[in-house]
Amino acid sequence: MGKIYKDVKSSGKNNKLIEGKLRDSSSPDNYRGPRNDIMLEEKIKQELELIRPHLQMDGGDVEFVEFDEATGVLKLRLMGHCVGCPMSQVTLQEGIGRTIKEKIPEIKEVISV
C-alpha cells in the first residue's frame, strides 16, 4: 500500500485522491484537470469502438490519436482500406464526425492525421 493511500485512509476524513492531490469530497465537483480529460478521452474511445465495426466491414478502421479539449479538435487516424480511399473524407466528416459530435458535444471538429 502506497504512502499517500495510507495517509488518506488513516486520516478518517472524506477525502479523495486525484492525480496525487487531495480534495475534500464534500466540495462541489467542479474540478477541471487531468482526471476530466482522461474521462472524456475514454468516452471518445468508447464511441469509436461502436463505429469501428462499420468501417471494418469494408476493410477500414479508425484509431484515436488526440483530443484537444481547449479547441474541441479530435484527431483520428484512418487505417486499412480507408487510407487513400476517395470517400475517406466523406466517411470521416459525415459518418464518424457527425455521429461522435452528436454523442459528445465537446467535440467541435474531427480531422484525420
Q: What is the pLDDT of residues 54-77, one digit of tens each?
A: 999 999 999 999 999 999 999 999
Which pLDDT tens digit goes with each residue over 3-31? 333 333 444 444 444 444 444 444 444 44
**For the residues 25-38, what does the mean pLDDT come to?**
52
Would the pLDDT of 113 be above 60?
Answer: yes
Res 38: pLDDT: 73
Which amino acid, residue 74?
A: L
Q: Is the dihedral of CA 30, 102, 93, 60 positive or negative?
A: positive
pTM of the model: 0.67
At which residue does the C-alpha cell 459530435 appear? Answer: 101
Q: Which domains does the chain have, with CATH numbers?
A: 34-112 (3.30.300.130)
Other Cβ atoms closer than 10 A to 82: 22
